[in-house]
Structure 1
Amino acid sequence: MEGRNRDLSLPLKRFVFRVEDEEDGLRLDHALMDRIHWRSRSDLQARIRRGGVLVNEQPAKASRRLQTGDEIAVLIRPEDLPDQDPARVPLSVLHEDEDVIVLNKAPGVLVHPIGRHVLDTLVNALWLRFKKSGETGRGVEPHVVQRLDRNTSGVLILAKTRAAKIALQDVFENRLAQKTYLAWVEGRPDVDAGSIRAPLARDQEGEIRIRMKVDPAGAPSHTEFEVLERHPDASLVRFHLHTGRQHQIRVHAAHLGHPLLADPLYGDPRDVGVEGDAEPRLGRQALHAERLVLPHPSGRGDLDIRAPLPNDLSSLGEGLREGLGLKRFEDRQSGTWVIRRRH
C-alpha cells in the first residue's frame, strides 16, 4: 500500500489520503473534489463507479459518508496526467558512479511524487534514465536519501542501490554530511558571522500546514552563517547546516530578521528584480544548495560536490553589485502551491 510510509523511490500508482476531522460526514465525491484538482467532478464520479476509488481498501459509492481516519485511495493510470512527462524533467548530473548520482537540481522541480505531481519529478526522470541505460536490469533504481524544497536549487544526492541507500541514510542521520547553502536575504545583517540555535516545530496555529516556526518546545536546530556581500537592500549569506529540519534556513533567516528574498512562507513573497527591470529576475525563495561533503557509501573516501549558482540568483547578484536597488514585482507564489488548512 502506498500510504505515508511508502518508498518514495517507487513510481506512485495511487493517490492516498486520510479523512481529517473537518471532513467527517462528507460524501466521498465531495471530499475528492476538495482534494484532487487534476480531474473533473464527472471524471472522479466515473472512477468511483468503476471501482477506481477505494475507501479502506474497498470500492464505495459516491454518496458514501466518510468518517475521520478513513483511508481514501484514488488509483492512478498513466493517461491521467498526460502533461507530466518525466522525459521533460531537467537532469543536470554533477557526479555519478555505480553507487550514487548527484544532481544540480533546478528550481521548481519536485524530488519525489507528492500530491497531484505523479510523474513529473526527479525520481520519475531517473527511473526513465536508468531504464534507457539498461541499469534497472542490474538492480539500479533511484533511492531518495535527502530532500530539497521544490523551489530550492543545487546539490542533491540519490542512491542507486539499496546498500548505498542504507549507508547514506546512516551518514545523514549521524550528521556526517557537511551541507552549505547560499541565499540572498533581505537587508544588511549587523554581524559578519554567527550561530543560530533556535528549536523548530510545525506551526499548528497558522493557516499553512507546512509552515514551521521557532518554538522552545521544538526540535533542536543549529545553523551557522557568514555574510559574503552587503548591498543597500539585500545581502548574500552562506549558511552551514548542523541539523536538517524542514525549512530550517528559511525559518532561521527570518528569525534573524533577514528572511530570504521572495520567500512566500517566511518573508515578502513578491518576485524581485533590480531598478530598471521590466521583468523580475527571481520568482522563488533565494536559496541554493551550494556544496555537499560526505563519506562515499562504498567507504572509498569522501565526495565533495559543488553546484554553481543558477541564472536567477546570479543575475540578481549582478544587478545588486552594480549598485542598483531591489525592485518588487507581483506576488505570483502565494496560494499556488502551499497546502492550506481546512476550516
Structure 2
Amino acid sequence: MSENQQSQVRWVTIEADYAGQRIDNFLLAQLKGVPKSLVYRIVRKGEVRINKKRCKPDYKLQAGDLVRIPPVRVAESNPLPSANLDQVQALNQQILYEDDLLLVLNKPAGLAVHGGSGLQFGLIESLRALRPEAKHLELVHRLDRETSGCILISKRRSALRALHEQLREKTMDKQYLALVRGHWQAHVKFIAAPLLKNTLKSGERVVRVDAAGKPSETRFRVQQQFANCTLVEASPITGRTHQIRVHALHAGHPIACDPKYGDQVFDAAMQEIGLNRLFLHAHRLSFKHPQSGKTITVDAPLDKALSQALKRLPA
C-alpha cells in the first residue's frame, strides 16, 4: 500500500452529529491507516488541540469544538469505484428500505461488505459512490462475503450510535435461512458454544468451538425437512465471526456449500441440483427506528440460486 504525506495542519469544526464521540475515536476515523499507537502519541505530545488547548484521549467532543489535527503519514485509502459500474448500479435495485437516517439492502452473495484483503471495493464503497451527497454512510453490522441478505447502513452518526446500542443490548433481531446437511432434530432449538477465532498466515480467518473462545449463542428452528437436508431459521443472539456456520457444524449439520466448514460429499450432491454458493441468507431484520422508536421489520427475498435449489430438492 502506497503512502502519502499529509503535509499541512488541519482544523476541523465539530458538527452536532459528532457530539459525544471521544477524540481518540474521532482521530482514528479521520486518520484511516494510521496506527493507534501514533494517534495516542500525537494526543499525548499535545500536537492535537481542542479550542487551542491540550486534551486527553477520552475527551468527549462538543458541537462547535475546533480540533487541530497535525500532519501525519496516512495510508492511502482505496479510491471509490465508479458509480457507473454495472455491479455498483445494481445495488440501487437491492434497497429494501430507506429513509433520512438509514437504509437496508439485500446484499448479493459474493460481494464483500468493504474493500481490503486484495479487494478493490466492497458494498460500503459502492454505496458511497452511488450517494456522494451522503457523507456519513457506515455499516451498522457485517455479513460474510458469501452470505446474502439484509444489511443495515446508517446515514448519520447519531443513528449509528443508537443502532450499535441495540446490538449491544441484543434487542436487534436478525434471522437467517440456512440449508443444512441431514435431518435437524426439532428439539434442538438453542446452541451455546464458545467460539475462538484464528487468523492463518494467509490472512484467512477460521473459527472453531473452543472453551477458550468467546460466549456465543444461536437459536435454531426447523422450517422444512427434505430427503437429506433441512431448511432451518437461525437467529444469532451474539454476533461472532462465522457464528451460524460454526454452530451448525457443531450440531452435526454443516451448511450447504460452505467453503470453510462444509461437507464435501453433501456439497457435491447440492452442486448436482445447481447450488454453487453458500446457502446462508439473512432473510429478516427487525430493529427500533433510532428516531421514532417504531419497530421496523424488513424481509429480503431469496435470490434465484437459492430459491431454485429449494424447488429441486427431493422431499
Please say whether Structure 1 and Structure 2 have the same fold, judged by a TM-score greater than 0.5: yes
Which of these residues, 178, 182, 195, is aligned with residue 173 of structure 2?
178
Indicate if the aligned counterparts of 2:89 and 2:130 stay in contact, CA closer than 8 A: no
The range that moved more, 247-256 or 213-222, is: 213-222
Change (3 A) 1:76 1:13: farther
Q: Does 1:242 align with 2:237?
A: yes
Q: List aligned pairs for 1:262-277, cutoff 5 A.
A: 262-268=257-263
Q: Does 1:123 align with 2:124?
A: yes
Residue 159 of structure 2 is matched in structure 1 by: 164
Change (3 A) 1:206 1:184: farther
Q: List aligned pairs for 1:1-343, cutoff 5 A.
A: 57=73, 73=75, 87-88=88-89, 90-91=91-92, 92-119=94-121, 121-131=122-132, 136=133, 140-203=135-198, 209-268=204-263, 281-320=274-313, 322-323=314-315
Output the CA distance in 2 between the equivalents of 1:114 and 1:208.
11
The CA deviation at 1:304 is 0.7
SS of residue matched to 2:286: strand
Change (3 A) 1:90 1:124: same
The CA deviation at 1:209 is 3.7
Indicate if the aligned counterparts of 2:177 and 2:283 stay in contact, CA closer than 8 A: yes
SS of residue matched to 2:205: coil
**Structure-1-length-normalised TM-score:** 0.65
Change (3 A) 1:308 1:108: same
Output the CA distance in 1 between the equivalents of 2:288 and 2:27.
24
The CA deviation at 1:191 is 3.2
Indicate if the aligned counterparts of 1:188 and 1:233 stay in contact, CA closer than 8 A: yes
Indicate if the aligned counterparts of 1:181 and 1:287 stay in contact, CA closer than 8 A: yes
The CA deviation at 1:163 is 1.1
Output the CA distance in 1 between the equivalents of 2:79 and 2:285.
37
Change (3 A) 1:85 1:15: farther
**Structure-2-length-normalised TM-score:** 0.70
Residue identity opposite 1:300 in structure 2? G
The CA deviation at 1:176 is 1.1
Indicate if the aligned counterparts of 1:294 and 1:303 stay in contact, CA closer than 8 A: yes
The CA deviation at 1:158 is 0.5
Output the CA distance in 1 between the equivalents of 2:287 and 2:111.
24
The CA deviation at 1:183 is 0.3
Cα-to-partner distance string for 1:62-109 (whole Å, 9 max, x where unaligned): xxxxxxxxxxx5676679x9x987635534010000000100111111
Change (3 A) 1:264 1:105: same
The CA deviation at 1:293 is 0.8
Residue identity opposite 2:107 in structure 1? K
Cα-to-partner distance string for 1:252-300 (whole Å, 9 max, x where unaligned): 000000000111111136865669x5xx622222100011111111133
Q: Which runs of structure 1 show a deviation greater than 4 angstroms over 4 or more consecutive aligned residues?
A: 5-10, 12-16, 73-79, 83-86, 204-208, 269-275
SS of residue matched to 2:262: coil
Aligned residues: 255
Output the CA distance in 1 between the equivalents of 2:241 and 2:282.
14
Change (3 A) 1:234 1:167: same
The range that moved more, 89-98 or 144-153, is: 89-98
Residue identity opposite 1:105 in structure 2? K
Q: Which runs of 5+ in 1 are unaligned?
A: 17-55, 59-72, 324-343
Residue identity opposite 1:179 in structure 2? K
SS of residue matched to 1:267: coil
Residue identity opposite 1:284 in structure 2? R
SS of residue matched to 1:281: coil
The CA deviation at 1:6 is 9.6
